[in-house]
Structures are given as structure tokens and as C-alpha cells.
Chains A and B, each alone.
Chain A
Amino acid sequence: MIRRIVVPVEVYRGHITEATREALVAARTVGNGVGEVVAYVYGEPPAEGTDVLELADRIIVLEDGQVGTPVAMAQAKLLRERIASSDVDLVLVGSSSWGWDVAPLLAGFLSAPLVANCQVIQHAEDVLKATCRICAGKLLVDVEITNKPTVILLLPGSYAHREVQPGKGVMERERVPASDWDARVEFKGWLEPEREDIDITQEEILVTVGRGIGQQENLELVEDLAKTLGGAVCGSRPVVDQGWLPPTRQVGKSGMIVKPKLYLAIGISGAPEHVEGMKDAELIVAINRDEQAPIFDVAHYGIAADLFDVIPALKEALVARRQEA
């Protein structure tokens, strides 16, 4: 039985992150209504979007000084005593730049095991089992977790859409003495990237067009879809060579190597020169009229249909889903 699960909350530029929300959902799922879910918030919670904290039973707001600045090292250290002294069985951290620092540091401070790249946690007969996805997704490892506490760094996605009951959502506040703050690392500010065009290697969602779109005018349809998805448009070499997209948007051997969360390939045949630039995307979906197109050998999901039929339907379904939510 799980007694208590701690989730350190990441606030990134005024918002509680999606990774944190997933960690809270995972905590509720694993705790199964029995284990108490405790969220630690560093500094005053943001004005908006804090309803996700209601997934926790207790919300402990750590206050004072620099506590809210994103310094993972100092923030992890603040939890050392709090976790060590309060029957915590699990610490769940979402994968993000911050989480990648917080989780291993906290494990180090607690002399606790760290289980990273965890895809899913299962709880059966008082045995906790975590499945980790490593080697770029090419290897799975099941581990049995017996040590308490254990720190788990979750991969994004697995808990994104589970339905869970909210917790008690009781908020408490704790003042942190300035001397508890490890000042050896100091956050000085955010630097925005300087660029003329977007950097497609940094985009999480890419909608890519190949010569299959036929004419430049049809790009509008694709741009519209990308906007609905919250992604950017890029293209294969022939599309860029036609001047339909700037060279900064070219994916492939002689363009950019991209690894987005979603790669939606539209009218792309899947020449090896193109595949070289996108094969490591987390999720590849291809739409192509030719069901023999080699892109279907690298895609996870395929739709063999006319893109001019599929794109409007897809946009409609996305808009409908958004309105539902």
C-alpha cells in the first residue's frame, strides 16, 4: 500500500507545466485513492491554471526569498528533510528541463533510487512495477520498486489523458528560512531565441508537406491545419526548391534533422534523404494517396487517402474536440 506520494510542482513562466499535471495524474492513479498526494509549490502559485493542483490532497506552498526562482538544485534540497521525515513512498517528477535536474538531485540528496524514463507505473499486490523506455525507445525494462522512497522521472504522454478523481486540495503554507536556500546557483533571467524564422528543430509539432500537395496555393490548407494543431509547417526538398517554403523549413539529409513529438507528413513519399531527417520523431503520422509510399514504413500511423479530403475532416475533428474540452 502506498502511504504518501510527493509531486514537486514546476511553474514555468507563470504556468504550471503539463509535465507536472501528468505527474499529479500519475500520483492519483498509483495512489489509488489511498495514498496521500502532496504537491510542493515553490513560491506563490500563479494566478491562473492552478485548478490542476486540486489533483493533490495537500498543496504545500513554500514561501519566501528566492524560493520561486527556477533553481532545481536549491529547490530539490528544500524537499530533502520534508520528504525524509514524512513517510513518503514515491516522488513523481515530470520530464522537463527542470525535472531532469530535480529528480536525480533529489534522489541523490535522499540516497534514494532514481527510476528515470518511466513510461508507466503499475501497482499489483503491494508490488510497484515501473516500465522504462530507454535506448531511444528501442528497449523496455520492467523494474520492481521496493525501496521507500523512490524517485521516478516520468516520460510525457502516458498519463496525459487518464480520468482521475480530484484530491482534497487543502492548501498549506510553509516559510523557508533564507539559510535553507542553496545560493551557489542563481537564476539571472530568461533569454529569448533571436531568429528571423522559427527553428523547426525546436518545434514539438511539425506538419510537413511534400510535392504531393501539388500547388503552392494548397499550402494555405496545411498552414491552417498546423495552426489548429499548434505546430509549424515545414517541407521536403522539392517543396523548398520550388520556393514554396524557405530553406529554414527543409527537413532531411540536406536540411534540418528534427525530433518533434508529432510529425504529420502530408503528401510525402518518404525518400531516404527525407526520412534521415525525421525518423526519430516520437510519433509519425503520414497521409499519402499512394498506399505503397515508403513513408508508411517509417510512420506509426498511416492514412492512405487524398489529403484534400482528410485535412478538412481532421481540422473539423480537432475543432470539435477543442470545443468539447
Chain B
Amino acid sequence: MQCGLCTSSCPLGDAMEYPPRRIIAEAWNNSLERVIHSPSVWMCVGCYTCSLRCPREIDLTDTVWPAVRDYALQEGIQPPPELRTAFQNLYLYGNVFGYSPRKRLDWARNLEVTVRDLSKSPEPVEVLWLVGCYPSYHPRNQVVARDMARILTALGVRWGILGKEERALGDCDRLFGEEGLFEMLVENNRRLFERFKFEKIVLLDPHAYRALEKFYPRFGASFPAEHYTTFLASRLDQIRPWLKKPINARVTYHDNCCVGRRCLCFDPPRQLLQAIPGVELVEMKRNREHALCCGGGGGGMWLDAFITEHGGRRLSDVRIQHALETGADILAVSCPFELSRFEDAVKVARAEDRLKVRDIIELLADSMGLGEGGGR
């Protein structure tokens, strides 16, 4: 159990005082006390590389890290301020931003397609779409949400959303050891979902998808769920006739960790991109299960300053170089965190005129003649 593959494969392992291998060693020696006072506790970004590499198939990301963090929180160790605020916001408002739940539908204001708000008029639907915190509130991601609504409608899917009753699924808090908060969100969401009739849940956020798929069933909350990439890829035959406008560009795709490494689902997003006329798909040197994490997962989104300070780098800045090396015009993503992380990284790399960051949904919508053109 001390081969060290976890540590050597960890994208921040070299910067950790207690990388995964040492944490395991300290746990054996009953000296986790030392670990929880170290910044290392807050440096895992939930990328699942260690879990994937472990020859003993120990799922470190989903077990060891949350356990250490849970222990730290129970011992009264304070999470870094930004994460603390995110936890508090989730607890009080059900979203990480601390925005009003009443504003959850703001993204759909002036939207030309009909939005079925199930919280107002419950009716059976085919797809219960959980829009997610970022697409609901974050302006850059709201564009993606609107494009998704247009695509679903164009495909004739009978879809509905939960409007102001939707709450975060609570993925990052679980990975960050805030088990109590996660349980609270699971209980609320389970009761909420059970009120409605739907065939499956579709999500934009891969972390939320992973939580619903892997963790919710442990609390007796089993709901059929799909990330949008697999959902849309399974309807590619229906989408293809719509894809009329060419997007003449070199496009590289960044595998997000949860749909990619965690669920080993690499082809559907690529199938979607390759279906778009004009798109030339190029791969970064690290792709699929070897893709480098953007650094935003499992709560990393709210530890940006902390991890940059203690890790000496921001993973999205490193990853953007991989994208630039391909000579691509567009970096395609399929995770709401990545738009803002990579758009910032493009600014830092001063490559705004060379590389655009766009969600696969936006590219599809553009080619279907429906898109709003976010990030174009």
C-alpha cells in the first residue's frame, strides 16, 4: 500500500506536505493529527488520478480525502475562508454563491422557448433537467443554459426544471468532508425529486452528475441520471440533421474529471464535436484518462487563492498551455466550472485572440442555428 503511484501521479502531489501516500502512512501510525493542521488537507482538487492509478484500486479521491477532511472539520480546523463561505451559502441558500433561490430562473428571462417550471405546475416529463448553480446564476454559464433549453426544445424533448425550488446537489461538500451538509442536501433533494414524475434527470454539471450517480443511492436516493454529453450523444441521429452551419475551426476537447476519469466516458463528447461540420478535432498531449484537471473540482473552485498560494501554480494555467500547443482555435469544455477557469487562464496567457473557450452545448447550438454565441 505504499507504492507511491498516487503521489507521483497527483497534479499537486509535489507541492503537498502530505501527499496521498504520506496521508495513508500517517493514518497507519495513528498520527492524522499532524496531517489535519497542514495546508495539504485542502489541496486535493478531486481529479481522480490517484484513484485511477492505484494498483490496489483504492478510491482515494472518494474515500481517503473526504475522511481526512471530515476528521479535520470535526476537530474544529477551519477551512480556508472562500470555501467556508461556499459551505455557508450552500447551507443557507442551497447554492454556492449565496444568491437568492428566487433568482434561480433569471437565466431564462426573455428566453424565446417555453420553460416548463415543474415547481409551479407539476406534470410528467421525459427529462428533469437540473440546471445547476453555475448555469443558473453565473452570466457566462447562463448562456449555456439558454442554448441547452433551445436544443432540448428543438429535439422535441419534453423537459422541465425545478425553478426556484432547485438546490445544489452538493458534490463539493462531500468531497470536502462536509458530510453533514451533503446529507442535508441529499435529504432535501430526495424529497423534492420524489414529488415529480420524470424518466430521467439530465445535468450540465459533471460533479453533480457524479454525486447523483455514485453517492445519492447510498442514502436511498436512486434516480436515473445522465450527463448532458451522453444524453445528447445518444440522440445524435436526431441532432445530425440540425447541424447545418459549419464551424470551421480546430477544436480541442478538455475531458472533465468526473465524466472522464471517474466515469470513463470519453467518446460521447468527442462524437458530438465531430458531428459538427467544419470541426477539426485535435487532441492535447494529455487527453482522456490522462487529461490534466482544471483544478476546480471537488471544491477547488473555492480554494483557488489557497491552492495557488500553497501549490505555486494554478492547474488551469498549466492546462491552457496544453490547449495552446495544439494550435486549436477553440477549447471545448463540458463543465460549468471550466468556462470561467479557462477564460481567465486564456487572459493570463494573453491568448485571447488565439483561443476561445466554449461549451459543447454552445458549439452544437451554433451549428444548429439556435445559439446565442457565448464566448464566440
**Direct A–B contact in complex, judged by CB atoms less than 8 Å apart:** yes
Q: Measuring CB to CB, which residues of chain A are less than 8 angstroms from any residue of chain B? A: 211, 237-238, 241-242, 247, 250, 253-255, 271-273, 276, 294
Which residues from A are CB-within-8-Å of B285?
A: none
Q: Is the interface of B mostly helix, strand, loop or mixed?
A: helix
Which residues from B are CB-within-8-Å of A254?
A: 82, 304-305, 308
Which residues from A are CB-within-8-Å of B139?
A: 272, 294
In the assembled complex, the CB of A215 is this many whole angstroms from the nearest CB of chain B, namely 10
In the assembled complex, the CB of A48 is this many whole angstroms from the nearest CB of chain B, namely 42
Which residues from B are CB-within-8-Å of A242?
A: 348
| Measured CA separation A241–B309 after assembly (Å) | 11
User: Residue of B at shortest CB range from A241?
Assistant: B348
9 residue pairs of the A-B complex, CB under 8 angstroms, read A237-B344, A241-B314, A241-B317, A241-B348, A253-B304, A254-B82, A254-B305, A271-B140, A272-B340
| Measured CA separation A272–B309 after assembly (Å) | 22
Interface residues of B in 319-370 (CB under 8 A from A): 340, 344, 347-348
Quick check: B348 and A238 within 8 Å, CB to CB? Answer: yes
In the assembled complex, the CB of B350 is this many whole angstroms from the nearest CB of chain A, namely 8
| Measured CA separation A287–B137 after assembly (Å) | 25
User: Residue of A at shortest CB range from B343?
Assistant: A271
Quick check: A238 and B304 within 8 Å, CB to CB? Answer: no
| Measured CA separation A198–B105 after assembly (Å) | 41
Quick check: A238 and B309 within 8 Å, CB to CB? Answer: no
Known: A254-B305, A272-B139, A273-B340. A211 touches B347 (CB 8 A): yes
Interface residues of B in 128-159 (CB under 8 A from A): 137-140
| Measured CA separation A253–B314 after assembly (Å) | 15
Quick check: B347 and A238 within 8 Å, CB to CB? Answer: yes
Which residues from A are CB-within-8-Å of B305?
A: 247, 250, 254-255
Which of A247, A273, A294 is the most central at the interface, judged by chain B CB atoms within 10 Å of its CB? A273
Query: Nearest 9 CB-CB pairs, A to B?
Result: A254-B305, A254-B304, A238-B347, A241-B348, A238-B348, A211-B347, A272-B138, A254-B82, A272-B139
Which residues from A are CB-within-8-Å of B347?
A: 211, 238
Which residues from A are CB-within-8-Å of B344?
A: 237-238, 271, 273
Quick check: B309 and A247 within 8 Å, CB to CB? Answer: yes
User: Residue of B at shortest CB range from A242?
Assistant: B348
Q: Measuring CB to CB, which residues of chain B are less than 8 angstroms from any residue of chain A? A: 82, 97, 137-140, 304-305, 308-309, 314, 317, 340, 344, 347-348
In the assembled complex, the CB of A298 is this many whole angstroms from the nearest CB of chain B, namely 12
User: Residue of A at shortest CB range from B141?
Assistant: A272
| Measured CA separation A271–B346 after assembly (Å) | 14
In the assembled complex, the CB of B337 is this many whole angstroms from the nearest CB of chain A, namely 11
| Measured CA separation A250–B306 after assembly (Å) | 13
Which residues from B are CB-within-8-Å of A271?
A: 140, 340, 344
| Measured CA separation A21–B137 after assembly (Å) | 44
Which residues from B are CB-within-8-Å of A273?
A: 340, 344
| Measured CA separation A253–B89 after assembly (Å) | 13
| Measured CA separation A254–B82 after assembly (Å) | 7
Knowing that A271-B340, A271-B344 touch, tell me 9 more A-B residue pairs with CB under 8 angstroms. A211-B347, A237-B344, A238-B344, A238-B347, A238-B348, A247-B309, A254-B82, A254-B305, A276-B97
| Measured CA separation A247–B314 after assembly (Å) | 14
| Measured CA separation A54–B347 after assembly (Å) | 55
Which residues from B are CB-within-8-Å of A255?
A: 305
| Measured CA separation A60–B344 after assembly (Å) | 60
| Measured CA separation A276–B89 after assembly (Å) | 13
In the assembled complex, the CB of A213 is this many whole angstroms from the nearest CB of chain B, namely 12
| Measured CA separation A276–B137 after assembly (Å) | 13
| Measured CA separation A253–B98 after assembly (Å) | 12
User: Residue of A at shortest CB range from B80?
Assistant: A254
Quick check: A253 and B82 within 8 Å, CB to CB? Answer: yes
| Measured CA separation A290–B348 after assembly (Å) | 19
| Measured CA separation A271–B97 after assembly (Å) | 14
User: Residue of A at shortest CB range from B305?
Assistant: A254
| Measured CA separation A253–B317 after assembly (Å) | 18
| Measured CA separation A272–B341 after assembly (Å) | 12
Which residues from A are CB-within-8-Å of B309?
A: 247
User: Residue of A at shortest CB range from B352?
Assistant: A211
| Measured CA separation A254–B303 after assembly (Å) | 8
| Measured CA separation A272–B96 after assembly (Å) | 13
In the assembled complex, the CB of B347 is this many whole angstroms from the nearest CB of chain A, namely 4
| Measured CA separation A272–B344 after assembly (Å) | 12
| Measured CA separation A29–B132 after assembly (Å) | 54
| Measured CA separation A237–B348 after assembly (Å) | 9
| Measured CA separation A211–B353 after assembly (Å) | 14
In the assembled complex, the CB of B104 is this many whole angstroms from the nearest CB of chain A, namely 15
Which residues from A are CB-within-8-Å of B340?
A: 271-273
In the assembled complex, the CB of A277 is this many whole angstroms from the nearest CB of chain B, namely 11
In the assembled complex, the CB of A246 is this many whole angstroms from the nearest CB of chain B, namely 12
| Measured CA separation A247–B309 after assembly (Å) | 9
